[in-house]
Structure 1
């Protein structure tokens, strides 16, 4: 089994990339909502409108879950980076205190 190597800097970088992706997705969803509402508006009614609305809501819920996942991953990676940094710092203090 290969050794696991983790650098806090890499974790922070990937965390930032996830956060950026989440922000971009959030902005894009807002724009898309506005465009769809403007295109279809309240004048579209009937069974086709109802069917589309149901599918649109399902898609929107799915995209919201993706957004939540990206945000959670960003937070978890940032937290892991902080823990690894703390562990490295504490280990360094212990070694320095041991006179090694």
Structure 2
């Protein structure tokens, strides 16, 4: 995410497409990246960006049974999962070996 006076821009990179400046931990140079941003909010169009994002927080969230993954036709596609998503996640034993890792979070100013 790049947050400037002119607006907020967000990129998403596949692991194999991470720009070299980011991969090396150097100061980011978004103008040199070949991957287009996924979102951009212009300050002129959203005059409250500085107010709405002044208390910005980074949140890691895994919505296990969200709108898509929790839908019955997605969760139990081809009969691979038994029950419903909500009934499965109520059982703490299904998470015994579950984990995820964040290699790093880097903030540049």
Greater Rg by CA: 1
**TM-score, normalising length from structure 2?**
0.23
**TM-score, normalising length from structure 1?**
0.24
Quick check: which one's helix share is greater?
1
Quick check: which one's strand share is greater?
2
Structure number with greater CO (CA < 8 Å, separation at least 6) is 1
